[in-house]
């Protein structure tokens, strides 16, 4: 267990580069593993979650080696994975568990997926139910949670599936299973979710049809029988993770007289809800060095201090900022007026119940807020957002809750203790080094 003590700091400045994107790093391993040929992945995120995925594929016979500034994946081909000798433990990673459910449902061997205490409580029927409709033999516990047990079947059949929520994890699980299915896999979503799987599948030579009508996004994986089903390996450059950059965007926005440049951040439009929301709140955010020629667009993000104001978050931005709300709530506490978020019940089933965890922490810090079933109202106080002294906040082992509360030290006059920060390593292993490099003062303390 690792706890942190965050000491008050008034301002920050500098140029930083945050580590690679977690979503893209997971997918690069999965697709590289089942491709034909060698995939070089530049900027792979060496975090616990992504290392877990890498280890899982190594346990299925895939050769993955570090080569200095890239990792080299020697693709086993679509049907080249080998039966793992043991249960696959995916630690804290919901992405690994949901996406691998789709991929493993199509293999000719049995597998069992487990995770840590948090992951074993997260809903998995959202992927296992549609996979069963494709013919998969896949089961969860009665409560819909892992262990996920998968047995081989003769073949999968493509389905047309209507998701009740916009979710890249469900969509990606079905697309990965769809690689092995007869016919076109068609997925309808009630909004936009991140499209990294689609971009990578296209780069690996698959044909996809993507369209939007009346707010419904439809993604079709075309298996027209004319092209070989094989994925052709391709180099992947992983941009810096906008979800990790989010903490620093909020930091620069709420601190006095501050400016930060965050280099090479992924600005895929399905991920930039944090920027849309912060700009609506009055933040000063600019892009420089925009590069749109790779699989994923990137830019340097320059963000300066501003007087933020409360907003009612437009629902269309929720899925585009789904992982960034813990950081956004810290900004909201420093804003003038009311910040209102509704329609965000999904936040209750992330690595923790993020609505409850953030509400509890904000109240402990002295913020005035109201917890809703599907959101939160934060009555911002720009003069003194975090008035309470000697506070201890429990991050509940959720990396993004820990990093969000670390940023409150920029607007507090007191030390803040944050408990159970060890899982920051799941997404952002050098967080403390980077925060120190721009002037923050956050230190591990002996755990209680």
Interface segment toward ligand S3P; rule CB under 6 A; list 39-47, 162-170, 232-240, 267-275 = 162-170
The binder of ligand S3P chosen from 3, 195, 323, 324 (CB under 6 A): 323
Buried b (16+ CB within 10 A) or exposed e, 410-420: bbbebbbbbbb
What is the spatial distance between Cα 264 and Cα 289, in angstroms, rounded to a whole number? 8
Quote the tokens at residue 185. 């896999």
Q: Exactly one of 323, 373, 374, 415 is catalytic; which is it?
A: 323
DSSP string, 84-136: -SS-EE-TT-HHHHHHHHHHHTTSSS-EEEE--TTGGGS--HHHHHHHHHTT-
Quick check: 168 binds ligand S3P (CB under 6 A)? Answer: yes
CB-CB contact of 51 with 426 (8 Å)? no
DSSP string, 71-88: EEEE---TT-----SS-E
In sequence order, the β-bridge partners of residue 416 are: 6, 391
Which of 347, 348, 384 is CA-nearest to residue 366? 384
What is the spatial distance between Cα 151 and Cα 165, in angstroms, rounded to a whole number? 27
The binder of ligand S3P chosen from 39, 47, 193, 416 (CB under 6 A): 193
Residue listed under structure tokens 């963000």: 303
Interface segment toward ligand S3P; rule CB under 6 A; list 51-59, 161-169, 228-236, 336-344 = 161-169
Q: 101 vs 193, which CB is nearer to ligand S3P?
A: 193
For residue 442, the minimal CB distance to ligand S3P (Å) is 23
CB-CB contact of 146 with 123 (8 Å)? no
Q: 252 vs 265, which CB is nearer to ligand S3P?
A: 265
Q: 52 vs 169, which CB is nearer to ligand S3P?
A: 169
What is the spatial distance between Cα 350 and Cα 347, in angstroms, rounded to a whole number? 6
For residue 382, the minimal CB distance to ligand S3P (Å) is 29
Q: 249 vs 320, which CB is nearer to ligand S3P?
A: 320
β-pairing verdict for 38-42 and 284-291 = unpaired
The binder of ligand S3P chosen from 39, 92, 101, 172 (CB under 6 A): 172
For ligand S3P, the nearest residue by Cβ is 23
Binding mask 406-425 for ligand S3P (x = CB under 6 A): --------------------
Please report, to the nearest 10 degrees, the dihedral formed by the alpha carbons of residues 49, 269, 346, 126 taken in order. -70
For residue 189, the minimal CB distance to ligand S3P (Å) is 10
Catalytic residue flag (residue 323) = yes
The binder of ligand S3P chosen from 28, 95, 234, 412 (CB under 6 A): 95
Q: 39 vs 95, which CB is nearer to ligand S3P?
A: 95
How far, rounded to the nearest angstrom, does the alpha carbon of residue 224 sit from its chain's CA centroid?
Answer: 32
Number of chain positions touching ligand S3P (CB under 6 A):
10
The binder of ligand S3P chosen from 122, 161, 194, 411 (CB under 6 A): 194
Q: 116 vs 338, which CB is nearer to ligand S3P?
A: 116
The binder of ligand S3P chosen from 6, 12, 23, 409 (CB under 6 A): 23
Interface segment toward ligand S3P; rule CB under 6 A; list 78-86, 166-174, 183-191, 363-371 = 166-174
Buried b (16+ CB within 10 A) or exposed e, 1-19: ebbbebebbeebeeebebb
For residue 347, the minimal CB distance to ligand S3P (Å) is 9
The region that residue 290 occupies, defined by phi over 0 for left and psi between -120 and 50 for alpha, beta otherwise, is: beta
Q: 309 vs 345, which CB is nearer to ligand S3P?
A: 345
Please give the residue ranges that form the binding site for ligand S3P (CB under 6 A).
23, 95, 167-169, 172, 193-194, 322-323
**Residues with catalytic function:** 323
């Amino acid at each position: 267990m690792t706890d942190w003590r965050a000491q008050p700091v008034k301002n920050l400045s500098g140029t930083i580069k945050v580590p690679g994107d977690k979503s893209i790093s997971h997918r690069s391993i999965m697709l590289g593993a089942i491709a034909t040929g060698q995939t070089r992945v530049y900027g792979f995120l060496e975090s616990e979650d992504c290392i877990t995925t890498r280890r899982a594929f190594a346990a299925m016979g895939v050769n993955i080696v570090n080569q200095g500034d890239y990792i080299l994946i020697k693709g086993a081909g679509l049907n080249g994975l080998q039966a793992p000798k043991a249960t696959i433990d995916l630690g804290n990673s919901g992405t690994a568990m949901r996406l691998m459910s789709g991929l493993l449902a199509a293999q000719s061997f049995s597998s069992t997926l487990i995770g840590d205490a948090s992951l074993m409580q997260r809903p998995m029927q959202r992927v296992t139910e549609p996979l069963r409709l494709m013919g998969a033999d896949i089961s969860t516990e009665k409560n819909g949670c892992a262990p996920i047990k998968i047995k081989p079947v003769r073949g999968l059949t493509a389905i047309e599936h209507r998701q009740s929520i916009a979710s890249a994890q469900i969509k990606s699980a079905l697309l990965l299973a769809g690689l092995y299915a007869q016919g076109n896999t068609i997925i309808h979503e009630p909004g936009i979710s991140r499209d990294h799987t689609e971009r990578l599948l296209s780069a690996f030579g698959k044909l996809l049809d993507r369209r939007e009508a009346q707010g419904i996004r439809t993604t079709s994986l075309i298996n027209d029988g004319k092209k070989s089903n094989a994925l052709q390996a391709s180099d992947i450059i992983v941009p810096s993770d906008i979800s990790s950059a989010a903490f620093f965007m909020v930091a620069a926005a709420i601190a006095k007289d501050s400016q930060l440049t965050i280099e090479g951040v992924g600005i895929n439009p399905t991920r930039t809800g944090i920027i849309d929301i912060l700009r609506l709140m009055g933040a000063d955010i600019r892009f420089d060095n925009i590069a749109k020629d790779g699989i994923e667009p990137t830019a340097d993000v320059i963000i300066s201090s501003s007087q933020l104001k409360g907003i009612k978050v437009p629902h269309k931005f929720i899925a585009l900022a789904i992982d960034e709300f813990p950081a956004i709530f810290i900004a909201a506490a420093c804003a003038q007026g009311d910040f209102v978020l509704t329609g965000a019940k999904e936040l209750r089933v992330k690595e923790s119940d993020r609505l409850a965890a953030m509400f509890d922490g904000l109240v402990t810090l002295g913020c005035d807020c109201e917890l809703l079933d599907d959101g939160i109202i934060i009555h911002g106080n720009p003069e003194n957002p975090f008035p309470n002294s000697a506070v201890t906040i429990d991050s509940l082992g959720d990396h993004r809750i820990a990093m969000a509360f670390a940023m409150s030290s920029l607007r507090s006059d007191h030390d803040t203790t944050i408990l159970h920060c060890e899982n920051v390593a799941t997404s952002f292993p050098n967080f403390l080094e980077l925060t120190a490099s721009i002037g923050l003062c956050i230190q591990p303390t002996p755990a209680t």
